[in-house]
Structure 1
Amino acid sequence: MNISLSGLENDFQKIGHDLTDREAIEEVKQYLYYNPWC
Structure 2
Amino acid sequence: MEKEQESYTSAGEQTTILNHINMEIAILAVGIFFVAKHH
Same fold flag (TM > 0.5)? no
Q: Which protein shows a greater Rg?
A: 2
Q: TM-score, normalised by structure 2?
A: 0.44
Which is helix-richer, 1 or 2? 2
